Amino acid sequence: MPDMGHRRGRLWRAAMMASLVTGCAACTTSSPSSRAGTPQASTTSVEPGSSISASSTKTTPTPTPTAGAAWLTYGGSFARTSLDSTDPTFGHKPTTAWTSPSLDGPVYGEPLIYKGQVFVATQNDTVYALSAADGTLAWSDHLASPVPAGALPCGDITPTVGITSTMVIDPTSGKLFASAAVLSGSSVGHAVYSIDIATHRVLWTRDVDQPGWAARGQLQRVGLALSAGHVIVGFGGNYGDCGNYHGWVVGVPESGTGSLLAYEVPTAREGAIWAPAGVTVDASGNVFVVTGNGAAGAGQRFDHGNAVIELSPTLAERQFFAPTNWAQDNADDGDLGSTAAILLDNSRMFIIGKQQTAYLLDATKLGGIGGQLASINVCNSRGGNAYQSPDVYVVCTSGGTIAQVRVGPGATMARGWTWTSPTGEAGSPTIAGGVLWTLDVSSSRLYGVDTSTGATRYTLRLTTGTPPHFAAPSIAGGMLVVAGASHVEAFR
């Protein structure tokens, strides 16, 4: 039986930033080591205000950043709370600050904000750094050739699959890490890239494909994380659940050298790790992953489908939680892992998936099958959710709503208000200054919702092109950033 690891007394709020820098003694700026057969990165740029192509470069000065103004990973922290607690209360309707030049493909990951720059990556395997002051291009790196959609057995990303997940920044080393699907000849592969932000030089590239898997069937959508000197990369399958794919977690040394760490979900097939909001990491570097449907059915042995699994910093399994109806969820496409686990204060964890039930867990003792502290029916949720004590704000993907769930006192949960999108859809939320921000991807609108009352306070029209399904805005230094199919837009 997995180690139940009774590690009480963790300080979850401290974990948000502490886990960003865990193990950075291992961070170096060693010479690049290239993935065999992977196209080398090229640096690109354009003149301000023109379209961004993949063949030229221009470097602009880096503005002095606002103290503490950073958004380094999906949700702002590895607790995946999607909360910016540093900004003052929004007392005005934000207005457009800038719109970026045209990008060379759609952005599926959350924009990152660091040292006066905004970082995004496209499905064309290109990473962009934009000035946070005015949106002009600072630099861009085209990392590799993306994979044509037709080269994959199924999926809903077109016309190419490149960088799908949210990147991650290590502020102690000044490195940006990106994970890309790459095409080399006729071969599909997956690689992680380390980029020095100051010089925008690719330091190294590592092939992360695992022995025996069918690379065409594996999709890297889950947001990247850092733990104990490693970049943590999760894998699931393409939309349509085709092929014999498996859920995997791979740990890549931040230095670029040394062996990879790896954990495979022990199911005959599937068990995807795919939540766009990422895997979750605590202050000790322990990694919490949430899986989708496994292969086992009623009466068969539990196979870690539809489960929360805690892994050690070396990716060894410690413990797990699964609902008592895990087998039915497997059969019904229940996908507990359609969102990330959120670390709450006082050692608690919140998770909800497509199967509509929210679970409150003791993160130090997940409890195995049926081990939750409390559960409550909410909605079908996909993407990322947000937390500001004592409330979790759950995106109800099918209903176009956001549901407030009050956590506590003690091991209890209760429903609060429900906000309904005026235009029919609601996206993954982000909280700042007492306002919850959510995207309607169909109408290209950004809504600001009062966290106390659930009333709509602000409605902003976007010029980004259609954002992807699970898009969420990023927030730092009083600036909201949204990325879409063709542009990045900032509001202040």
- Collapsed DSSP state (helix, strand, coil) of residue 290: strand
* The pLDDT value given to residue 92: 86
Count Cα atoms within 13 angstroms, Cβ side, for 443: 17
* The pLDDT value given to residue 48: 27
Among the listed residues 433, 430, 396, the one whose alpha carbon sits nearest the alpha carbon of residue 415? 396
DSSP per-residue letters across 162-202: ---S--EEETTTTEEEEEEEEEETTEEEEEEEEEETTTTEE
Range 460-464, long-range pairs (CB < 8 A, 24+ positions): 460/93, 460/94, 460/96, 460/491, 462/489, 463/96, 463/99, 463/487, 463/489, 464/99, 464/488, 464/489
Spacing of C-alpha 50 from chain mean position: 30
pLDDT of 91 over the 80 cut: no
* The pLDDT value given to residue 296: 95
Radius of gyration of the chain (CA): 21
Cβ 322 vs Cβ 307: under 8 Å: yes
CA–CA separation, 175 and 196 (whole Å)? 5
Exposure pattern of 369-381 as b/e (b: 16+ CB <10 Å)?
Answer: eebbbbbbebbbb
Average pLDDT over residues 347-375: 97
The pTM of this model reads 0.88
- Collapsed DSSP state (helix, strand, coil) of residue 323: coil
pLDDT of 86 over the 90 cut: no
* The pLDDT value given to residue 23: 37
Q: Which domains does the chain have, with CATH numbers?
A: 60-491 (2.140.10.10)
Average pLDDT over residues 317-343: 96
Per residue in 159-169, pLDDT (tens digit) is: 999 999 999 99
Q: Which residue has the higher pLDDT, 398 or 22?
A: 398
* The pLDDT value given to residue 49: 28
pLDDT of 57 over the 60 cut: no
CA–CA separation, 449 and 402 (whole Å)? 10
- 329 pLDDT band, cuts 50/70/90, is very high
CA–CA separation, 61 and 72 (whole Å)? 20
Side chain identity, residue 266 = P
What percent of the chain is predicted at pLDDT more than 90? 81
Per residue in 407-438, pLDDT (tens digit) is: 999 999 999 999 999 998 999 999 998 899 99
User: Rounded to a whole number, what is the distance in angstroms from the first to the last CA of the chain?
Assistant: 51
- Collapsed DSSP state (helix, strand, coil) of residue 296: coil
Average pLDDT over residues 368-377: 98
CA–CA separation, 309 and 331 (whole Å)? 20
Cβ 318 vs Cβ 335: under 8 Å: no
